[in-house]
Structure formats: structure tokens, C-alpha cells
Amino acid sequence: MIKLNLQYFAGEKTEKPTAKKRGDARKKGQVARSQEFGQAAVLLSGLFTLKLLSGYYMNQLTHLFQVNFTSKLTYQLTDQSVIPLFIEMLLQLAKLILPIAGVVMVIGAFTSYLQVGTLFTLKPLMPDFSKINPLSGFKRIFSMRTFVDLLKSILKMGAIGFIVYSEISKDWVRVSRLGDMDVSDMLSVVASLAYGIFWKVGFAMLALAVADFLYQRFDFERNLKMSKQEVKEEYKQQEGSPEVKAKIKERQRAMAMRRMMADVPKADVVITNPTHFAIALKYDSNSMESPQVIAKGVDETAQRIKKIARESNVICVENRPLAQTLYRTVEIGESIPGDLFQAVAEVLAYVYRLKGKV
């Protein structure tokens, strides 16, 4: 019969990542994210903005050409006129760039938020000297991620090439006559063809981005998986080692035992059964409404309580039912319940008579 040593499998990453592991990875900027998703969204949003603001851009471009090819041709350049002319040209370019740039920036930030939520970290910008390790670099070159990135690039180039070829083939008649057209007709044909190509390329990239995002989520979860040993080590770091916690509890019990034994000489009576149980009671009519249990124990602890009581001239009274009931129902520092008043009062009265207090 073959015996398996489970230690061989302790290093296998078979466990789901813990919340701490996910949080640490997020702080380092390690999240499931597809760059293709953002690129496709930016391309489609830019095309949609151009379509929506086509009239605005046509007016701005017409005005720009009219001004620059009429009045600006005879413009006299001097030291004083260069700066205003430069500022005017910047403003004209800003009117063309800012609308589409603003939309693209908003869409880019929104797609990033959809994928990873709110995240700000500088860890990815910090230098990582392990990346210059030749062995690590060799592993990255032949890793699954590199293969997937290569496959994505091939698919993108193939999709773009197919779309361009199919669009030009469908409109080949007009494309072949571009040399015979005037400038306005030529620009119209080229713009219409390019616009159609970019739209289809954008949707093709979006489909690829969705598939890539699903793979990135899968790969991210796979890389975050932990071994059983890693889970145990993390638990020890968060909760503390069981051995250390046991020692702490042992010390706490020892300290509590010493404090309890130090209170035994202050008791008025120790009730026993007589060997297994010992309960020390104290009553001060000026500060207590009813007697309190200041120490209790069984077996060895009970013997120590009785020994300290005898050394401190504290009277021990044997009452088996009362001793057992007090031990089970009253904790140290608590007052006795009302249903035990009569029994305890009789014991205290007996003790006070022996001490001559009554």
C-alpha cells in the first residue's frame, strides 16, 4: 500500500486568497485590469464625440482655414505681434482639442473605476530591482502572461487588417478614383472611409477587451491563491501564535490565582464540603449589601485556600450542599443570590458567635 506524505502538497497553492492577501495586493497596485478595455472605450467615445460635434468641428475648421489663409498671409511679424499671434493659435487649437480630450479623459477614468474602483498607490512607480534579475526576466519572457499578450497583439493586428481590407474592398470604386477628384470630394471620401473603419475597429477592440478582462480576473485570482502553510502563517501573524496565546493565558491564570489567594486572609469564613470544594466569603455591613465570594476552588486549589485560611485564623465551616451550590452559581467578586441568604446568614452567625462578635 502506497503511503502519501501530505507535506509534499503543503506548498501547493490550492486555497482561496484571504482578505488580507487581497488588501496587500491592492496596496501594491496589483489588480485585475485590462488595458484593452480602456483603449476601446476611449476610441469609441472619441468617435462618438466627433459624430455628435461634427457641426461644431466643421465650423471651427472652416474658420481656422479662412483666417489663416486670408488675413494671416499678410500678417506682419514683429517682436510685439508674435506673442499675441501664438496665443491666438493656441486658443484655436484648444477649441478643437479640449472637447474631445475632455470626453476621452472622463471615459478613461470611468472605465478604470469600473474595473478596479477607487485606488491610489505609488508602489508601481517604485524601483523594483528584482526586475533586472536575468533569471526573472527569462521567466517572464516565457511565461503564460507573455504568451497571452502576444496572442492579443496578433488578434488585434489581424482584426484591424481584416476590417481595413474589407472596408476598402467594399468601396474600392471610389477609392480608385481619388486621384480624379477635387480636394473637397477626396477629403469627404477619405473621412467617410476612415470613420467607418475606426468604428468597426473600436467594437472589435471592445469585444477583445471583454475577453481580456475575464482572463485578467482569472489570472489574478490564480496568482493570489495561497498554500495551506501560507494561510496558517498569516493566521499566526494576525491572531498570534497558539503557543504564545496559551502562555499568555497561563500567566493570566497564575496572576489571577495569586490575587485570589491574597484575598483569602480577608475572608470571614471558608465554606467547605470538606475536601473537594472551598469558598471564601466576606461581608462588611458598611460597604456591602450582601456577602461576596472573594475566592473559590476545587481539589488542589481548595486545599490551598483552606491552608491559607488556617494560617490566617479564618474559620472553615463544613457545609457540603452550600459549598457546591456557591461554587457552581456564584463567581469571584459577585454577591450571593437571594435564595442563599438564609443559609449563608446562618453560617456567618455561627462564625460571629465563635469570634464573640455576637
Mapping DSSP onto H, E and C, the string for 122-144 reads CHHHCCCHHHHCHHHHHHHHCCH
Cell 499568555 found at: 248
Per-residue pLDDT tens digits for 64-114: 777 766 666 666 667 777 787 778 788 888 888 888 888 888 888 888 887
DSSP 8-state secondary structure symbol assigned to residue 69:
T
Long-range contacts of 184-189 (CB under 8 A, 24+ apart): none
Q: Indicate the SS3 state at residue 79.
A: coil
Per the CB < 8 A criterion, the answer to whether 193 and 171 are in contact is: yes
In order of their start, the domains of the chain are 14-72+79-122+132-235 (no CATH), 248-355 (3.40.1690.10)
In angstroms, rounded to a whole number, what is the distance separating the alpha carbons of residues 31 and 38? 15
pLDDT (0 to 100) of residue 343: 86
Does 88 or 331 have the greater pLDDT score?
331
- Among 145-154, 249-258, 318-327, the range scoring the smallest mean pLDDT is 145-154
pLDDT (0 to 100) of residue 250: 85
pLDDT (0 to 100) of residue 65: 72
Strands 269-272 and 315-318: parallel
Residue 151 has phi, psi (to 5 degrees) of -65, -40
Q: Would the pLDDT of 131 be above 80? A: no
Average pLDDT for 178-194: 75
Cell 477607487 found at: 118
Give Rg (Cα) of the chain: 43
Cis status, amide bond into 274, omega within 30 of 0: yes
In angstroms, rounded to a whole number, what is the distance separating the alpha carbons of residues 356 and 51? 108
Joined grid coordinates for residue 306: 483552606
Per-residue pLDDT tens digits for 30-69: 777 778 888 888 888 888 888 888 778 777 777 777 776 6
In angstroms, rounded to a whole number, what is the distance separating the alpha carbons of residues 308 and 301? 11
In angstroms, rounded to a whole number, what is the distance separating the alpha carbons of residues 150 and 158? 12
DSSP 8-state secondary structure symbol assigned to residue 180:
G
Question: Which candidate, 21, 8, 1, places its Cα nearest to that of 223?
Answer: 21
H or E element in which residue 252 lies: helix 242-263
Q: Would the pLDDT of 1 be above 50? A: no
Per the CB < 8 A criterion, the answer to whether 263 and 295 are in contact is: yes
Query: How sure is the predictor about 254, in pLDDT bands with cuts at 50, 70 and 90?
Result: confident
Strand order in the sheet with 277-282: 292-298, 277-282, 269-272, 315-318
Query: How sure is the predictor about 4, in pLDDT bands with cuts at 50, 70 and 90?
Result: very low
pLDDT (0 to 100) of residue 8: 44
